[in-house]
Amino acid sequence: MYQTPAPLLWTFDTQRNNKRNLVRGAVFRRAAAVKTLLKTIHSDLNISTMWLLIFLVWLIIWAGGTYWYLFGKPSPFSLESVRPPGPREFDQKKRDKVIKQGFSLDKVPQNLDVIVIGSGIGGLSAGATLAKAGKRVLVLEQHDQAGGCCHTYIEKGFEFDVGLHYIGQLHENSLLRIIFDQLSEGQLEFQELNQHFDTIQIGLGDEKREYTIFSGKTEMKAHLMKQFPDETEAIETFFKIMKVSAKKTHYLATLKLIPQWVSLFLLKSGIANLVSPVFRLSGTCATDLVNTLTSNKDLHVIFSYLFYGVPPKDSSILINALLVHHYKRGAYYPKGGASEIAFHIIRTIQKYGGNCLVRAPVSQILVNEKGAAYGVKVRKGQEEVEVHAPVVVSNCGIFTTFQKLLPPEIQVKHDIQERLNMMKHGRGSFLVFSGFDGTEEELGLVSTNFWLFKNNDMDKSMEDFFALSKEEAPDNIPMMFITMPSSKDPEAKIRHPGKSCMTILTMVKYEWFEEWKDTVVRKRGDEYHDYKMRFANNLFDWACTLFPKIKDKLVFQDVATPLTNMHYLGAQRGAMYSAEHNLDRFHAEAVARNRCNTPVKNLYISGQDVFSCGIAGALHGGLLCASTVLDHIVYIDLLILKKKLKRRKARELAQLAKKKLQ
């Protein structure tokens, strides 16, 4: 029998034992690994569950907070506050009691919550919204009449509006119409103008081409295509841009309402661009874009004809598209004239315990040692009186607010300077107000506005014009706008029978008039008078080529320069639309940074410097400001109202149809 040698046995045993041990070790290790894995999974599960729970709690808090922020606060607006319009107040003395109430301390309401500086549409809309939300509001106006650009002035039986010639987007149940109804409690009425609301003339003499702009959901585009039959594709694309701009601009406005870091994160990360093209559009140069659509220079002018002092090469396509779109559903004019706007909105502010006082130039915003605004100083004769309130809304422009009204030690602060550096002063306006002895029928005047351009290169002609010397400028005006207020307001015939009026507008450089800046209004001397009349005569002669009958019937003429704007509207450097509407201002990031809050606690900005100029633009500036002060987005309330009104309209139509069938 073969016997296994001992060492071999030992070896074999050892090997077997080793193998067993190895297997056992492996099993142990695997078991340990599984144990560790299970432990890890277990603890991971605990951690995941914990994170899940944290996330759920955060989500619930966030959703609750958002719901409370959006819907938790009572709406300042209601359908019930809108009454049928009352009879128009023609008694000027009664009107003046509302729009020309002079400042004195005894007229300041007790326990003020908010002071608004400046009674333009931006200040009034912010003021009325805050008043309807339960705040006691005082609006202070430096001029002797409230309304800012919405005021009118009456001279020798003629009434001129200074900054409102037509407004769009006021069709039934439009957001803007609902806002005006809420702010005036149903008292403002608007006259829809002719469907043919604008005429554009390009060129002079035999070279002159004339285009007409019609309102109408489909008619505007169709009418344009009829005039440019070879450019249907370009027009189609421009209208698509108009649609996106109009439908999505509220995204841009939202950037001002959500925390700034969130806005900047959305923009910088590119998420915003995934959501909507509007964020890119706002920073796109108008000339660059229209060049990609067509080489037809006349059509380029049509796409940018509503000029606002910035050549298309320096402006945003979004703004140009929005301006054309603004009148797509019709052009309107306030019945009773532009001053009706201030008259009715002030009455709303008064109804809720507030007031609007004129001849109340604010000379300083009061700021306490903690850096918070707590009131204003108002100049009254030689004195300065203080009025206090926990919130100050400034509607007199970003430059006046930050450079003139804040105490000097705050003006120089970095964050104030940073806000100022985002903006430039806009171009000044030049207006010729003419009054005629004769009715519109006799003189051939119409409610349609006229936009005249000497050539079809807006970029070059604006650049060349603004580069001219003071001497050369009056004889080389490249463009102008003509409007006839007396033909727009159906009640003008009642208020001023047998008379008609015309306003001509162009844009000029402040520097051409600067040497007279320290002279007194209406006493600026012969040299100033002669200089401004050179502009005025050229503009008026140009207008006479369109309306030859007016020349012999001219019985009144007044001319306003940037210095006039500075005096009556408190506009820095006589700027027509306050800060310049250049491309930089409309880059989405700049939009997000230029908000109603300011680096000074309790001080807010309202009006045209918040988003854009225009009655609608400045009014939205007021509503964005009120939303910021209330920490509640009032647009949600307005959208809910809009839905209710649409449902009501649908019910009415259904009932009418039912009746017809019976």
Ligand X SMILES: Cc1cc2nc3c(=O)[nH]c(=O)nc-3n(C[C@H](O)[C@H](O)[C@H](O)COP(=O)(O)OP(=O)(O)OC[C@H]3O[C@@H](n4cnc5c(N)ncnc54)[C@H](O)[C@@H]3O)c2cc1C
Enumerate binding residues for ligand X (CB under 6 A): 117-123, 140-143, 148-150, 163-167, 361-362, 395-396, 400, 429, 431, 505, 569-570, 576-577, 607-608, 613-616, 618
* Shortest distance, position 503 Cβ to ligand X, whole Å: 8
Nearer residue to ligand X within complex by CB, 235 or 432? 432
d(CA 184, CA 81): 9
- CB-nearer residue toward ligand X: 122 or 336: 122
Q: Please state the closest distance from residue 321 (CB atom) to ligand X, in A.
A: 16
Q: Which is nearer to ligand X, 166 or 279 (CB)?
A: 166
440-444 own/partner pairs: CB under 8 Å, 24+ apart: 440/484, 440/486, 440/487, 440/500, 442/549, 442/553, 443/500, 443/547, 443/549, 443/550, 443/553, 444/547, 444/549
Smallest gap, in angstroms, from Cβ of residue 486 to ligand X? 15
Beta strands in 175-241 (DSSP E): 190-192, 196-202, 209-214
Q: Which is nearer to ligand X, 140 or 234 (CB)?
A: 140
Residues 139 and 123 sit within 8 Å (Cβ to Cβ): yes
Q: In whole angstroms, what is the distance from residue 474 CA to residue 606 CA?
A: 35
Give the HSE-up count for residue 324: Cα atoms under 13 Å, Cβ half-sphere. 28
Q: What are phi and psi of 503, to 5 degrees?
A: -120, 130
| Cβ-based nearer residue to ligand X, 202 or 569 | 569
Nearer to ligand X, 395 or 561 (CB): 395
CB of 165 to ligand X, least distance (A): 3
Comparing CB distances to ligand X, the nearer of 162 and 272 is 162
| Cβ proximity of 116 and 127 under 8 Å | yes
CB of 288 to ligand X, least distance (A): 26
Strands (E), 389-498: 391-394, 428-437, 449-453, 479-483
Distances (CA, A) of 83 to 21, 58, 262, 647: 96, 44, 41, 19
User: Which is closer to ligand X, CB of 212 or CB of 403?
Assistant: 403
- Please check whether residue 399 is in contact with residue 572, taking contact to mean a CB–CB distance below 8 angstroms: yes
Residue number, 133 or 365, with CB nearest to ligand X: 365
Burial of 558 (0-12, 13-18, 19+ CB in 10 A): middle
| In the complex, minimum distance from the CB of residue 59 to ligand X, in angstroms, rounded to a whole number | 40
By CB atoms closer than 10 A (0-12, 13-18, 19+), residue 69 is middle
What's the closest the beta carbon of residue 248 comes to ligand X, in angstroms? 21
Radius of gyration of the chain measured on its C-alpha atoms = 32
Taking the complex as a whole, the smallest distance from the CB of residue 572 to ligand X amounts, in Å, to: 9
Residue 253, amino acid: A
Shortest Cβ distance from residue 228 to ligand X (Å)? 25
